[in-house]
Structures are given as structure tokens and as C-alpha cells.
Amino acid sequence: MNEPFEYIEDYFENRLGTAEKSRFEARCVEDEAFAAQVALYALQRKALRAALVQQKTAAWTEPAHPAVQERAHPATVRPLEPRYPTPPRRLKPRPWLAWAVAASLLLGAAGWWLFRGPASPHQLASAYIDKTYARLSQTMDGSTDSLQQGIAAYNRQEYDKALDLFEGLYKAHPERTDALRYEGIVYLRRKNYDKALETFSELAHTNGLLSNPGLFLQAVTLLRRDAPGDKERAKSMLNMVVQQQLDGAGEAATWLKRF
């Protein structure tokens, strides 16, 4: 049985002549038993290689002889040997690195500022609500009707009180559509989007008004809510606002470019 091992080894150690090498290779293909013997030899060599790597690694990473260690570390406390070798630390001072990092950060910030993408319709709607309806304007004539009281409550962020006042006024005087609009705005601020949409829809369907922002406010609410399908509905409403030149047509035209 030694002969095949020797023959196989001769091939892999490149000790065979060209003709014999070709015969060996052909035999691997034609003789299954021989191919199995070659496979076993290769796997044995693989196992030997793994064992050798393990043995060498143990020798290469073993701590120095105690006498050598004592010379290297004369202090009483000797550092523990790591299980694996630790890479040498190379902490050279690199002032150019700090400048390079600073320059990259500046370039990055400038690039972001110059090439940042346009705000989405949702962002535009949110910004519009925050800017326009953070505070409602009051008349300066000192009147104290329900509408003005409601606006004052709104500006103090007493939304429940404001809502009661606007609802009461609109029920008592259905012609006061401004109360209905403010009611919708309160719902919008409180993120009660369904009620806001209901209120603005009622406003949009009110006939005979000189100015009616109902449809535009419905679109604003949909963009702010940003639920599936809201964007498409808002887009079609904004188109109608622009086509019919309703209240908010200017903003609607700008926003439509961002879709």
C-alpha cells in the first residue's frame, strides 16, 4: 500500500516526468479507486497542514522565556500576555489629518447646502401651517364677540375653549363661515386631521362666498397627514385651486412644481 502514497507524493512534489505526469492525471479520471486514494492523500495533507499551522501559531505566540521576560520587564508586575498578538500602535502626530478632516466637513456642509433636494410637499404644507397658523390675527377694535374670544383662546393655545367658541358661533350664525374656517384650523393644529378635513370640506361646499379657502385647506391637511393616497388627492385639489383661481392659488402653483 506504500507504493501508491509514494507515487502520489511524487506527482505533487513534481518528481515525475512529463509522460508519467500525464499517465497519473489520466488515471485519476479513469480509475475510481485510484482517484479515491489521491483524494485521501490530499485530505491527509490538508489535515497535516492544519495541525502544522496550529503548532506553529502556538510557538510564534508563546510568551518569551521567564528569564527574557524578567530582563524586559524588571518591575514586579508583569503585563499579561494576550491570547492573540496585538497590532503595534502607530500614533504618529498628523497635523495635516486634522486640516483634511476640517476641510472635508466644510466641503460636505457646503455641498449639502448647495445641492440639497427640494422640500417635499409634506414639508411645504407643514411649514405653511406653522408659519400661517401659529397665531391668528385679532381685530384691534376691542370687540369681544365669540370669534375674537375664540381667536384669543387659540393664541393662548386653549384649543378646547377656542373650539367651543367657534362651533357655538357657527351653529348660531351659519353665515359666519370664518368661524367654520377657524374651527378647521383648530382641528388641524390638534392633528385631528379627519375632523379638519370634514370641516374644510363643509367650507369648500359653501356657496356664495367671495373668498373660499376650503379646498386649499383640505389639500394642506392631506399633505400634512401624508397617509397613503393623500398626496394624489391633494395634488388634484391643488390643481383645481389653481385652475379656478381660488384662495391659496399662489401657494398651490408653487407646491405643484414640487410633486
Partner 1 sequence: MGYRQRVACEKIFYQQYSYFIREGCRRFRLSYEDSFSAYSDAVLSAIHNIVSGRFADNASLKTYLFRVFSNKCIDLVRNHSINKQQVNRSVAPPELLDALPDTAKNAVEAMMHRYNEQAILDSLEAVGEKCREVLLYFEDGYSDKEIAERLAYSSAAVAKTTRHRCLEKMRQIMHTAKP
Q: Which of 15, 20, 55, 259 binds partner 1 (CB under 8 A)?
A: 55
**Closer to partner 1 by Cβ: residue 30 or 141:** 30
Q: Which is nearer to partner 1, 54 or 254 (CB)?
A: 54
Which residues inside 80-119 make contact with partner 1, applying CB under 8 A? 84-88
Work out which of 20, 23, 51, 119 binds partner 1, going by CB under 8 A.
Answer: 51
- CB-side neighbour CA atoms (13 Å) of 123: 6
**Minimum CB distance to partner 1 smaller for 48 or for 253:** 48
11 vs 193, which CB is nearer to partner 1? 11
Evaluate whether 1 touches 14 at the Cβ level (below 8 Å): no
Of 19, 59, 80, 210, the one binding partner 1 (CB under 8 A) is: 59
Binding residues (CB under 8 A) for partner 1: these are 1-2, 5-6, 9, 11-12, 24-26, 28-29, 32, 35-36, 38-53, 55-57, 59-61, 84-88
